[in-house]
Structure 1
Amino acid sequence: MSGALRRTVIRLLEKRDQRRARKAPPPDTREIRILLLHAYGLGGTIRTVFNLAAHLAERHDVEIVSVVRELPDFFFEPPPGVRITYLDDRVNGRKGLLNRFRSRLTPPDEAAAHWYTLKTDLALARYIRKRRGGVLIGTRPALNLLIARFAGPEVITIGQEHANLPSHGEETQKQIARRYGRLTAVATLTETDLRSYEKALKKKRPAHLVRIPNAVPKLNGATAHRTAPVVVAIGRLAHVKGYDLLIRAWAHVHRVHPDWELRIYGSGARHDKLQASIEKKELTGCVRLMGPATDVGAVLAEASINVLSSRREGMPMTILEAMSVGVPVVAYDCPTGPAEIITDGHNGLLVPAGKIHAMADAIGRLIADPDLRTHLAENGLVTAKEYDMSAIGPQWEELLTACSAASPRSGGTASPGS
């Protein structure tokens, strides 16, 4: 699109939004639409969004809109009372000419930019523009930015951050600073990330900038007995999860505790590299790549220790899930999240980020001391209750109430180049 044509389109949209603002009814939260990249997949964001949607559906009309659908069936059980629709069906591959071209509306360094195309650009812009009220919630920068650009003034717009601001690419951060101020609210998971957003959005901030952590999903399975010689790690097999570091640490653990086993649950692009590392370090049989955890509660119930080896996180749910079933946690003190959940020596062990020998020592310490495992687990159970939906749900209702009390947004559609 040429610059002149783009400016003409933007002016027309701005004038239309001004008319919409004058005619807009009072904001309301009866209808809530949550935009999610891939509701059919496997991942922590999907699980926590499903958990939140189920809670909101008790009082609101809730729909999850999946940008794409690449699998015929859901990996996670859909939340009760929530409709799930999709915009681009890719079960049999990407179809149509527009799917051959990359998105023009998604920052190229957004972590999921390769998922977005011209087809999804048009589908999302059309869907967002059609909303005439209610609430639109985005769940990653690409979606939050689109909502900020195209939502009408009568729509309550909320951008969720499921990672943390510094983890995003430079261009993505620039667009966040430029456009998130047009949202009604931005919700971070941690206090640390809230401070990052307060600084980044100092010039133009949304009406509400809050920290609301994810709630712990209720898990199947009993409370762990913590007697089996099993350590578990759960998460996608990606560089950010630090499993390469964990395998190197386990080589030291194995020398002292050869009867213990490390089970890594997840799937992802690094499977073959991790398996090769396991074999190279002669850990086959004591380090196992288990595939996706279809029942996280059952997996944790069989464990005595949970490990988080991530290089960075948003707010790691595996820590809270482990705590909720009485499994003590060892975690790298990575940005962000672990240090806001774990008090070292009280409800878990914090290890300096990336330090392999320190991780091995902490795991070995818990293996050798069952009483410490019990102490950390009992305190972890108390911590997990602070993140129950009975505590987190009211924070969302409070935010929605505050957003609905505001007048309709007066700004027009933002220029794609602004």
Structure 2
Amino acid sequence: MKIRYLMLHAYGMGGTIRTVINQANAMVKAGHDVEIVSVVRRRGKPQFAIHPSVRLSTLVDQREGRQADSLRRKAWRRVRGKMVPRGEFAADYFTERVEKAVMDYVAGLTDGILVTTRPALNLISARRAGKGVIRVAQEHMNLNAYPETIRREIGRYYDRFDAVAVLTRTNQLEYQELLPKSKIVSIPNAVHKADQRHSRQDNPIVVAAGRLVPQKGFDLLIPAFAQVVAEHPEWRLRIFGTGPRQAQLSAKIDELGMQDHIALMGRTERLDEELAASSVYVLSSRFEGLPMVMIEAMTHALPIVAFDCPTGPRDVLTDGVDGILVPPRDADALAVALREVVSDRRRRLEMGAAAAAAAHAYAPDVVMPMWENLFTELLHGEQVNA
């Protein structure tokens, strides 16, 4: 099979980027012809390992000249601006040059499977992809996390896809209600490796990871962990990631006097080692699609403490068995649950073992055949109808 993955920025960091690259790597290992197409390029090399047999190409190289692109953005928004609607979280990437490059690329395809990986790209594919192309939209976020402008366009155009792939059964029901005539399939993202080194529960360290943006709720986690420190001063919180809220989060840490207990660690290429060396993973997100770093933490036998946010945590965790779910955005409840697990090593070991077992449902050898089966079904359907 010829499979093309169209991504916004294959050279960046983030859960979606990592999981799509993992999928491309697995498909090429299975003998398929695979290409990753990055809409933009802002770094010299990818941050995640790409199999040498996966072709990597770029539509718009922005390592130089981004300023000129940005100066044209307002004019483009007035003249066009309809293909990528307001409210798309990555709308600022889509200058005139970028949006036109994506439209021209998908319109020029004549064969194979095109997998697009976020609403902006999905909508362009739905409206512009050439005949003969099998179109698959990947959705990495729950439907209700999008503003009305996006949901309206999804309802208007997604029925043009051969399949829409979502991450959880909850997501599937949401999308099926909006798109009753469309093929909606639930396929989770796969971890890059299921058999990882397990935590020994020796270090008083809680880990969180993600972009430093409001979605991830680190502004709620920091005061919650301050309550933990009041009773367990030996424990530390390490938050991995970068983003626009770094200054505000640093100020909150200083305000609470938590400089010796909470650290913003920045980006790391050693997250697996950091997870194995910690004892608890905490998810403080306001909303998620499928929280992959949380599942990767489970492969290291870490118990999870998470907000029961829409969607993802409840689709993965069994409350009280491999993690603890608390009401969304309730920092006090998060603090109570964290105190509960940090104070009981035996329970952490039991929950961690259950978490590692549950994480095997997201192993590549479990998930990737689902994609192969879907692609094969779609291709055979095309042949029958030809």
TM-score grouping bracket, smaller chain normalisation: over 0.9
1:397 to 351, 367, 372: 372
CA distance 1:109–1:300, change in 2 (3 Å)? same
Which of 31, 41, 62 is the matching residue for 2:12?
41
Partner of 2:49: 77
Matched, 1:123 2:101: yes
Q: How does 1:10-159 map to 2 (within 5 A)?
A: 30-58=1-29, 59-94=31-66, 100-101=72-73, 102=76, 104=81, 105-159=83-137
Q: 2:301 and 2:227 mapped to 1: Cα distance?
A: 26
Name the residue aligned to 2:160. Answer: 182
> Do structure 1's residue 247 and structure 2's residue 222 form an aligned pair?
yes
Match of 2:306 in 1: 331
2:288 counterpart of 1:313 = yes
User: Any conservation in 1 of the 2:194–2:363 contact (CA below 8 Å)?
Assistant: no
Separation in 1 of the partners of 2:365 and 2:254?
45
Q: Are residues 190 and 72 of structure 1, via their aligned partners in 2, closer, same or farther at CA, if it must alter by over 3 Å?
A: same
| Alpha-carbon distance, 1:351 to partner | 1.1
Say whether the 8 Å CA contact 2:194–2:360 is kept in structure 1: no
Q: Deviations over 1:130-177 (max 9, x none)?
A: 111100000000001111101123100000001111111211111100
Residue 80 of structure 1 and its aligned partner are, at CA, apart by 3.8
Shift of 1:119: 0.8
Q: Quote the Cα distance in structure 2 between the aligned partners of 1:266 and 1:249.
A: 19
Q: CA deviation at 1:407?
A: 3.1
> RMSD value over aligned CA atoms?
1.7
- The code of the aligned residue for 1:33 comes to R
Asked if the contact 2:195/2:299 (under 8 Å) is kept, the reply is no
Selected match of 1:284 from 234, 259, 274: 259
Look up the match of 1:237: 212
Q: Structure 1 residues 380, 150: closer, same or farther in 2, change over 3 A?
A: same
1:261 aligns with 2:239: no
Gaps of 5+ in 1: 1-29, 411-418
Residues 99, 119 of structure 1: 8 Å contact kept: no
**Alpha-carbon spacing, 1:184–1:221, altered in 2? closer, same or farther (3 Å):** closer
Q: Secondary structure at the match of 2:362?
A: coil
* CA apart distance, 1:97: 6.5
Give the 3-state SS of the residue equivalent to 1:249 in structure 2.
Answer: helix
* Matched letter for residue 303 of structure 1: S
- Change beyond 3 A, Cα 1:243–1:96: closer
Tell me, yes or no, if structure 1 residue 349 matches structure 2 residue 315. no
What are the Cα deviations for residues 241-294 of structure 1, in whole angstroms up to 9, with x where unaligned?
A: 000000010111010001110000000000000000000000011000000121
Q: Any gaps of 5 or more consecutive residues in structure 2?
A: none
Correspondence 1:299 to 2:274: yes
Would you say 1:381 and 2:356 are equivalent positions? yes
TM-score, with normalisation over the residues of structure 1?
Answer: 0.88
Can you list the C-alpha shifts for 1:309-357, whole angstroms capped at 9, x where unaligned? 0000000011210110111111110000000110111111111111111
Native 8 Å contact 1:231 1:306 kept in 2 = yes
The structure number with the bigger radius of gyration is 1
Cα distance in 2 for residues equivalent to 1:237 and 1:409: 48
TM-score normalised over the length of structure 2: 0.95
Tell me which amino acid in the other structure corresponds to 1:83: R
Identity of aligned residues (%): 42
Does residue 1:215 correspond to 2:190, yes or no?
yes
Paired AA for residue 120 in structure 1? V
What is the CA distance between 1:220 and its match in structure 2?
9.5
Preserved contact between residue 330 and residue 362 of structure 1 (Cα < 8 Å)? yes
Give the distance between the partners of 1:407 and 1:303, measured in 2 at CA: 49
Would you say the 8 A contact 1:219–1:297 is kept in 2? no
Tell me if structure 2 keeps the 8 A contact 1:99–1:118.
no
> SS where residue 136 of structure 2 aligns?
strand
